[in-house]
Amino acid sequence: MSTIEKPDSGPDIASGRLSPADYAANFTDLHPPLDPHEALVEADRCYFCYDAPCTIACPTSIDIPMFIRKIATGNVDGAADTIFSANILGGMCARVCPTETLCEEACVRNTAEEKPVRIGLLQRHATDHYMAGHRTWGSRKPATGRRVAVVGAGPAGLACAHGLAMEGHDVTIFEAREKAGGLNEHGIATYKTVDDFAAYEVDFVTGIGGIEIRSGTALGRDVRLADLRRDYDAVFLGLGLQAVNALGLDGEAIEGVVDAVDWIERLRQAADKSTVPVGRRVVVIGGGMTAVDAAVQARKLGAREVVMAYRRGPEQMNASEYERQVAQVHGVTIRFFAEPRAILTSSGRLAGVEFETTRLGEGGRLERTGERFMVEADQVMKAIGQVFVPGPVAAEALALDGNRILVDDEGRTSLDKVWAGGDCVRGGEDLTVVAVEHGKQAARSIHAMLSA
């Protein structure tokens, strides 16, 4: 830990920096939904491509040209049918998917005029329309009497549960937290999912029936995997990630240095955003979507200066160019090729971060240059990735690959009758839509096993 001499009363971290009106304005929809006219105009732009590149780019393979054509012909609920049949969390995915790197990046309109069809907003139009008039989607086949345990009520677990419930199986979801939804509920920026949408969607998904959620029930603490394997016909693990990577610097535990994921969760769960403290000057360390969400929301809470520092360049960044633009539009300064080397303190309290500049050397290897600079900060948010902690399943003979659970193409783990999906498995891309696909595919595989 280094110190800098500065007569200072300590870091300025405070809540209530803004007027009530500012809080209200800052935490509404970042992208307002399309109104019916806008949706028709946008739907008209779709070419109804053959073997559509957008559908290929969608991890859940939503038949995008078909749902857009249904919007264009006035069959908006039918459009939602097309979406939900491929992705039961199509409502949330419409809000949080990085469409600019998925369906919309693949849109042939990019080639034609560098302006893709706004697929995400059209999907939201259709799913919002449907969800406003229906309490669930799909119907259950006759009960099979088979029981499946799903661990984790995040996107993977919910998608798996819905798929199994449709087939007539009974599902019990074990969720460690009090609220279901996983990162949709706890980890995504507030302005992407307003009006408690994540909770609303959980009700929508489970509204099909045959799904029981036992919240506050943690694997390893309240239930054991071995018991679930004994008591249920199959088990799906949608555990997510449990810990945030550490910077590995002295002083990381000092007051004012926080995990971005925790800070975002607190903000999401705060009914009154004016109660959430934020630093006057904030440094966010990391280059992913969590870093962007934290940086932008820090600004929205009234932080004067927000610097987002990433040790590599824009090409290597997980956050898309579009996400970077969102950050920059909101006044976030992005510093590339800046690696944190020391937490700076003054009188024993947080004062800033010292960085060393880096560059890409031979073979794309990151090199330090020896040049250092300081950024003063009242608050530091760590967003350098999350890790899977196998704790609760470590006791079982569950094979890992790297640091995550090893699964095959259908989501089967090395344990009999146990499937896994979402961020906790190898190959997870830390995206809601990928987790939904894992859950969907696992449900198919489990159903095939149960029907055999």
The residues of the shown chain that bind other proteins, judged by CB under 8 A, are 40-41, 44-45, 47-53, 72, 108-109, 111-112
In which residue are the tokens 């590995």 written?
248
- Closer of 45 and 266 to other proteins (Cβ): 45
Report the distance separating Cα 198 and Cα 213, nearest Å. Answer: 15
**Whether the Cβ atoms of residue 215 and residue 152 lie closer than 8 Å to each other:** no
For residue 100, the minimal CB distance to other proteins (Å) is 18
Cβ distance to other proteins smaller for residue 9 or 111? 111
Q: Which residues of 253-282 are buried (b: 16+ CB within 10 A; e: fewer)?
A: ebebbbbbbebbbebbeeeebbebbbbbbb
Estimate to the nearest angstrom the gap between the alpha carbon of 90 and the chain centroid.
14
**Min dist. Cβ of residue 91 to other proteins (A):** 27
CB of 65 vs other proteins, minimal distance in Å: 10
Question: C-beta of 117: minimal distance to other proteins in Å?
Answer: 11
Nearer to other proteins, 118 or 146 (CB): 118
Cβ closest to other proteins, residue 45 vs residue 280: 45
Cβ contact 327:393 at 8 Å? no
Choose between 89 and 102: whose C-beta lies nearer to other proteins.
102
Rounded to a whole number of angstroms, the minimum distance from the CB of residue 39 to other proteins is 12
Which residue number, 47 or 373, has a Cβ lying nearer to other proteins?
A: 47
Strands (E), 16-168: 147-151
What's the min distance (Å) between Cβ of 47 and other proteins?
5
Q: Rank residues 41 and 394 by Cβ distance to other proteins and give the closer one.
A: 41
3-state class of 420 per DSSP? Answer: strand
Q: How far is the CB of 184 from other proteins (least distance, A)?
A: 33
- Find residue 387's DSSP bridge partners: 243
Query: How many other CB atoms are there within 10 angstroms of residue 217's CB atom?
Result: 16
The whole-angstrom separation of Cα 182 and Cα 238 is 9
Write out the E strands in 347-413: 349-360, 366-376, 379-382, 386-387, 400-401, 404-405
Written in H, E and C, the secondary structure of 284-339 is EECCCHHHHHHHHHHHHCCCCEEEEECCCCCCCCCCCHHHHHHHHHCCEEEECCEE
Q: How far apart are CA 326 and CA 189, in angstroms?
A: 12
For other proteins, the closer CB: 25 or 41: 41
Q: How far is the CB of 112 from other proteins (least distance, A)?
A: 5
